[in-house]
């Protein structure tokens, strides 16, 4: 585990905060979490309020500009994002030529790195250039992930539509080749809003560490992608859906959970470092998973998820996190088992951007210490 050292003022003893648990690393106006309430505020607004009332573009604007857009600002923002959706040729070539065996998140991470290489202003870290790069990545992430989804299925990528289709509708259109039905578009929009921002999670912290050295935005986002790929973070959504598929039916859920716990395995989609009593995003996604099951006429995944959740509550008392119910929602929207983390990253880009912009505004190098537990006084001869 990661260790930092502070010195207890009274005893002068070093204190190690394993995993930086409970450490306040900087001040931020982006998001607030109360793990006990539980509550998540983004720019002061409750996450459920945002998920019910905002499309992803509004959420993106709120995050990167720090305020709710008026109608004119939103219309201009939508047009700007729509114009930025197409990918440069070399990036599409990379997606086409990456080996099928490569992890989809490794391909996405490499594609974003290449976007930075192709951006002549990538190293400009003034606020206007940062905003421009953040908007470009926000617009291009869905084009990347949709193209990955289609290429994996042996299909040609479908290019983006113009501003006629909003962010979420265009995203699903690029995956499926047809415009989504309204309930599906709405569910996807809400899922993207719920995933957009989550305070000092591991990937956001990684972004801020990179900014701390005054490196560029693309490097920070690539670090964020590297962190969110892991199964303890965003990668848990792929694990959660794989688990539901393995369980196979609601009747098997209790036995599966019991066996996993007996083997001391961590079940993906359960548990959280900050929320111990419930993840407010999971509550929203539970409702959405139920609505999605009704919309597509198949409640199998929802039924399995509810049965396993019940068993976890009865035995270990551990709560489902955001990834648990998002997994069946994204799966039923047509995203394959190994590409859901990519969708999560494509939503989190705006949260990362907000933190990156904030860190540049009031930067201080992030450089913790370690408590040395190795040997001393060794000699080579």
Tell me whether residue 141 or residue 195 sits nearer to ligand COA (CB atom): 195
Task: Judge whether 323 counts as a catalytic residue.
Answer: yes
Site for ligand COA in 220-259 (CB under 6 A): 232-233, 236
As measured in angstroms, the least distance from the Cβ of 262 to ligand COA is 11
Tell me whether residue 268 or residue 351 sits nearer to ligand COA (CB atom): 268
Q: Is 38 in the site for ligand COA (CB under 6 A)?
A: no
Helix axes 300-315, 280-296, angle to 10 degrees: 150
Q: Is 180 in the site for ligand COA (CB under 6 A)?
A: no
- Annotated catalytic residue within 119, 272, 279, 355: 272
CB 270, CB 320: distance < 8 Å: yes
Distance CA 342, CA 85 (A): 17
As measured in angstroms, the least distance from the Cβ of 374 to ligand COA is 24
DSSP strand pairing (39-42 vs 45-46): antiparallel
Task: Judge whether 355 counts as a catalytic residue.
Answer: no
Q: Which listed range, 39-47, 79-87, 121-129, 317-325, lies at the site for ligand COA (CB under 6 A)?
A: 317-325
Tell me whether residue 158 or residue 236 sits nearer to ligand COA (CB atom): 236
CB 307, CB 254: distance < 8 Å: yes
The SS3 call for residue 122 is: coil
Tell me whether residue 78 or residue 321 sits nearer to ligand COA (CB atom): 321
Q: Is 131 in the site for ligand COA (CB under 6 A)?
A: no
Q: Which listed range, 111-119, 180-188, 209-217, 313-321, lies at the site for ligand COA (CB under 6 A)?
A: 313-321
How far is C-alpha 221 from the chain's CA centre?
Answer: 12
Tell me whether residue 33 or residue 134 sits nearer to ligand COA (CB atom): 33
As measured in angstroms, the least distance from the Cβ of 286 to ligand COA is 15
- The full DSSP string for 214-264 is T--HHHHHHHHHHHHTSTTTTTHHHHHHHHHHHH-SGGGHHHHHHHHHHTT
As measured in angstroms, the least distance from the Cβ of 108 to ligand COA is 18
DSSP strand pairing (14-16 vs 5-7): antiparallel
- Annotated catalytic residue within 198, 233, 279, 355: 233
Tokens of 273: 């470092």
CB 108, CB 345: distance < 8 Å: yes
Site for ligand COA in 256-295 (CB under 6 A): 266-273
**Residue 280 per-residue DSSP state:** H
Residue of 58, 321, 341, 353 that binds ligand COA (CB under 6 A) = 321
Phi then psi dihedrals of residue 204, to 5 deg: -65, -40
Tell me whether residue 172 or residue 274 sits nearer to ligand COA (CB atom): 274
Residue of 48, 118, 131, 318 that binds ligand COA (CB under 6 A) = 318
Q: Is 322 in the site for ligand COA (CB under 6 A)?
A: yes
Task: Judge whether 233 counts as a catalytic residue.
Answer: yes
Phi then psi dihedrals of residue 338, to 5 deg: -100, 10
Tokens of 309: 């959740």
Distance CA 154, CA 79 (A): 31
Active site residue ranges = 233, 272, 323
**Chain residues in the site for ligand COA (CB under 6 A):** 232-233, 236, 266-273, 316, 318, 321-323
């Amino acid at each position: 585990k990661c260790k930092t050292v502070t010195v207890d003022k009274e005893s002068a003893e070093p204190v190690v905060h394993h995993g930086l648990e409970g450490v306040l690393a900087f001040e931020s106006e982006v998001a607030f979490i109360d793990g006990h309430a539980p509550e998540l505020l983004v720019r002061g607004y409750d996450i459920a309020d945002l998920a019910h009332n905002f499309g992803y573009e509004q959420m993106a604007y709120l995050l990167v500009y720090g305020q709710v857009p008026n109608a004119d600002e939103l219309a201009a923002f939508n047009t700007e994002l729509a114009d930025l959706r197409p990918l440069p040729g070399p990036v599409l070539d990379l997606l086409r030529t990456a080996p099928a065996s490569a992890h989809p998140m490794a391909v996405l991470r490499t594609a974003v790195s290449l976007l930075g290489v192709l951006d002549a202003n990538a190293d400009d870290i003034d606020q206007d250039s940062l905003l421009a790069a953040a908007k470009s990545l926000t617009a291009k992430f869905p084009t990347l992930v949709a193209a990955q989804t289609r290429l994996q299925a042996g299909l040609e990528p479908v290019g983006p539509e113009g501003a006629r289709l909003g962010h979420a509708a265009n995203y699903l259109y690029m995956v499926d080749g047809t415009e989504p039905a309204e309930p599906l578009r709405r569910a996807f929009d809400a899922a993207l809003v719920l995933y957009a921002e989550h305070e000092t999670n591991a990937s956001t912290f990684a972004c801020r560490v990179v900014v701390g050295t005054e490196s560029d935005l693309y490097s920070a986002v690539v670090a964020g992608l590297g962190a969110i790929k892991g199964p303890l973070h965003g990668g848990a959504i792929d694990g959660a859906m794989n688990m539901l598929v393995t369980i196979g039916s609601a009747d098997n859920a209790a036995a599966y959970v019991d066996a996993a716990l007996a083997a001391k395995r961590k079940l993906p989609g359960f548990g959280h470092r900050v929320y111990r009593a419930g993840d407010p995003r999971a509550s929203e996604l539970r409702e959405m998973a139920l609505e999605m099951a009704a919309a597509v006429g198949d409640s199998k995944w929802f039924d399995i998820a509810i049965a396993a959740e019940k068993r976890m509550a009865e035995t270990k008392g551990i709560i489902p996190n955001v990834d648990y119910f998002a997994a069946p929602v994204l799966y039923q929207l047509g995203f394959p088992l190994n590409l859901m983390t990519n969708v999560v990253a494509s939503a989190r880009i705006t949260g990362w951007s907000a933190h990156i912009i904030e860190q540049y505004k009031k930067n201080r190098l992030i450089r913790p210490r370690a408590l040395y537990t190795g040997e001393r006084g060794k000699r080579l001869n």
